[in-house]
Every structure is written in C-alpha cells, then in structure tokens.
C-alpha cells in the first residue's frame, strides 16, 4: 500500500482509524448474517419471518468518539443520518456507518487527513463498506484493507443431516433428498475491546465440500459459501444459511439480546441433495472452511446410503 494509491482511490488502502498503517480489530466480517426475527425468541421464531441480510462490510472495533478518516480521497456524496459516503470518481466508493458526521455533501476529503466524523456513543465500531460500481466487495480481500494479518483458524464444529422438512437425523441408511448442514465459526484476527471483548464468532470466507467413496472421489469439490470477493443478494440468504442461524446479539421481536453469541449454520447446497444419486454403501463428506488469510479447518462426516427400499 502506498499513500498515492489511497489518495487516487485505486489499489490497496489504509485503515480509517489511527494508526492508519497498523491492523485494528474487526468484530464483524463481510458476509456475516444480519437477522431480525419477527417473533419473541424461541425455537419457533428461528423458523419464522423477519428481515435477513448479509453484512455488506466489516465492523472495525474502536472506542466511542474515535475520529474516522477516509481510506481514500474523494468527494462526499451522501450524509444520511449516521453514515458518510465518499466517491473516488472511478467507480469505487466507501461508506462509513455509525459516526456523527463532520463533513457535508460535495466536500472534497483527503485520505488520512480529513475527519469524516466520530464513532457514536454505545457503538464501539465503525462499519466500512467498499463498493465497486455499486456492488459491495470484501474489504479484507488481498489488495484492499492494508495491512491485514489473520492467524486465527476457522473451526468446523459439526455436520448435520437435515430432512427437507427441517428435521435433523442420523447419517445412516440415507435414501432421500436432504440437506447437509455445517456449523462453522471463525474468530476475529485481533482481540476486540469493549462490550464485545468476550469474543463473538464471525463467518469464514470460503466453505467447500466433496464426497469420497472407498477409494475415489464421487462428488468433486465445490463451493458452498464464497465471500472472498462479494456477497450473494439478500434474497439468497436462506439458500446460503440454514435455519437455526442467528447473528451475534440477535434481535427477536425488536429486542436485542445482548451478549448472546450467534450461530452460523451453512447449507452445503442451496437445493436438496439427492442421496439416491449415490450407489448403496459408505461415504465420507469432507468439508473445508477457510478465511481470507488462508487459515483452514476440515470436518468429516461418515454416512451410508441404502436405496433398496425406494
């Protein structure tokens, strides 16, 4: 990253907080689930209606009142409420959320010099969205937010066999259309301070899977989740996540449940997988979770198919 690249709005860019050339804790990853369930908290509410979306940026942890600076120079195009948008004039723009703005629309701002505003009380973070021609891209991808280092490793916690009706069952004598669901967590690269210091999970950047038989791969590796570059459209939320997923500090019936850790359940296929495609026998499902730093973990599930009764 060079000062010039930040100022002309191309290439890598520094952090929006001082010190600009040192990593800061990221407490919310690109692609994290954002869930607002309509009903009070219950198992039934998790299957119900609400507002669901993918996190379009990263949440950078810092104390309330911390000054926020543009990561790239440009012109302020919007100042709606508690956010500021800066356009670089080349299709790239950045949004800074949860700040008390100190700039106005039309103002030219300089990377690392102009104070865009200060982090609002009780927020303890600035949300940064990176847009390329109006589409959100991952600020933690290589060649974007710099420097960024991540030594934490995602964890594949468990793999579930779930019926189309939503019931979890044993991985034996499978002979139907079903979903393979994986619970995965990743953790912030640096310790988070403030009310989130207890540690809350974030999504990995990539989840892949394959199915192996006795001596060969019967279903080649494919991606179930990939936000290394961009995120799906919000209407695809429940095609990517499985029911039972909810965000950190979840919202049920307009009430935030503070200090509750989120749960991240991913579907390996958007549509049910038909195990009748496989010959009767024993198989192993291999799931790999990876972050933008290349750290990874592998989980395995042995299952059997029995189509004799079909």
Q: Supply the pLDDT for residue 3.
A: 40
pLDDT band at 310 (very low <50, low <70, confident <90, very high): low
Average pLDDT over residues 129-143: 97
Q: Supply the pLDDT for residue 8.
A: 65
Do residues 107 and 184 both lie within one domain? no
Do residues 159 and 133 both lie within one domain? no
Q: Supply the pLDDT for residue 91.
A: 94
Report if residue 97 sits inside a domain. yes
Q: How far apart are CA 6 and CA 69, in angstroms?
A: 12
Q: Supply the pLDDT for residue 2.
A: 43
Report if residue 13 sits inside a domain. yes
Do residues 118 and 220 both lie within one domain? no
SS (H, E, C) 49-66: CEEEEECCCEEEECCCCC
Do residues 199 and 64 both lie within one domain? no
Report if residue 176 sits inside a domain. yes
**CATH code of the domain in which 91 resides:** 2.70.70.10
Report if residue 310 sits inside a domain. no
Do residues 62 and 185 both lie within one domain? no
Report if residue 251 sits inside a domain. yes
Do residues 178 and 301 both lie within one domain? yes
pLDDT band at 308 (very low <50, low <70, confident <90, very high): confident
End of a domain among 137, 167, 186?
137
**Residues 273, 283: contact at Cβ < 8 Å?**
no
Closest CA to 125 of 180, 61, 178: 61
Do residues 63 and 199 both lie within one domain? no
Q: Supply the pLDDT for residue 124.
A: 98
Do residues 222 and 285 both lie within one domain? yes
Report if residue 144 sits inside a domain. no
Give the domain extent around 164: 155-305
Do residues 88 and 169 both lie within one domain? no
pTM exceeding the 0.85 threshold for the entire prediction: yes
The alpha-helical segments, DSSP class H, found in the chain are 3-7, 237-240
Average pLDDT over residues 211-227: 95
Closest CA to 83 of 133, 56, 119, 55: 119
Do residues 202 and 66 both lie within one domain? no
* Percentage of the residues of the chain whose pLDDT score is greater than 70: 97
Report if residue 206 sits inside a domain. yes
Report if residue 147 sits inside a domain. no
How many domains does one find in the chain? 2
- Residue 215, pLDDT above cutoff 90: no
Do residues 30 and 86 both lie within one domain? yes
Q: How high does pLDDT run on average in the chain?
A: 95
Q: Supply the pLDDT for residue 1.
A: 38
Average pLDDT over residues 139-156: 96
Q: Supply the pLDDT for residue 7.
A: 62
Q: Supply the pLDDT for residue 4.
A: 45
**Residues 120, 98: contact at Cβ < 8 Å?**
yes
**Could you read off the pLDDT of 226-249 as tens digits, one per residue?**
999 999 999 999 999 999 999 999
**CATH code of the domain in which 300 resides:** 2.70.50
End of a domain among 137, 171, 199?
137
Do residues 194 and 121 both lie within one domain? no
Average pLDDT over residues 176-185: 97
């Amino acid at each position: 990253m060079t000062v010039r690249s930040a100022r002309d709005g191309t290439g890598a860019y520094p952090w929006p907080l001082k010190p600009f050339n040192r990593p800061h804790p990221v407490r919310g990853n690109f692609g994290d689930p954002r869930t607002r369930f309509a009903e009070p908290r219950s198992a039934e509410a998790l299957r119900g209606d609400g507002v669901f979306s993918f996190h379009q940026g990263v949440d950078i942890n810092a104390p309330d009142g911390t000054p926020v600076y543009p990561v790239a120079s440009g012109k302020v195009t919007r100042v709606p409420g508690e956010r500021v948008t800066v356009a670089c004039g080349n299709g790239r723009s950045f949004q800074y959320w949860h700040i008390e703005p100190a700039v106005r629309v039309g103002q030219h701002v300089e990377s690392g010099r102009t104070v865009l505003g200060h982090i609002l009380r009780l927020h303890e973070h600035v949300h940064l969205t990176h847009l390329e021609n109006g589409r959100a891209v991952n600020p933690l991808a290589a060649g974007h937010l710099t420097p960024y280092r991540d030594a934490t490793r995602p964890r594949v916690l468990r793999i579930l066999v779930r019926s189309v009706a939503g019931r979890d069952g044993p991985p034996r004598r499978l002979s139907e259309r079903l979903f393979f669901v994986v619970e995965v967590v990743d953790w912030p690269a640096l310790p988070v301070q403030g009310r989130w210091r207890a540690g809350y999970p974030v999504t990995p950047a990539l989840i892949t899977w394959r199915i192996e038989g006795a001596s060969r791969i019967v279903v080649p590796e494919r991606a179930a989740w990939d936000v290394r570059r961009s995120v799906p459209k919000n209407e695809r939320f429940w095609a990517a996540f499985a029911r039972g997923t909810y965000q950190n500090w979840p919202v049920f019936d307009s009430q935030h449940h503070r200090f509750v850790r989120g749960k991240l359940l991913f579907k390996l296929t958007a549509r049910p997988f038909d195990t009748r495609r496989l010959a009767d026998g024993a198989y192993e499902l291999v799931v790999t979770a990876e972050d933008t730093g290349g750290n990874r973990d592998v989980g395995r599930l042995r299952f059997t198919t029995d189509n004799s009764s079909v």
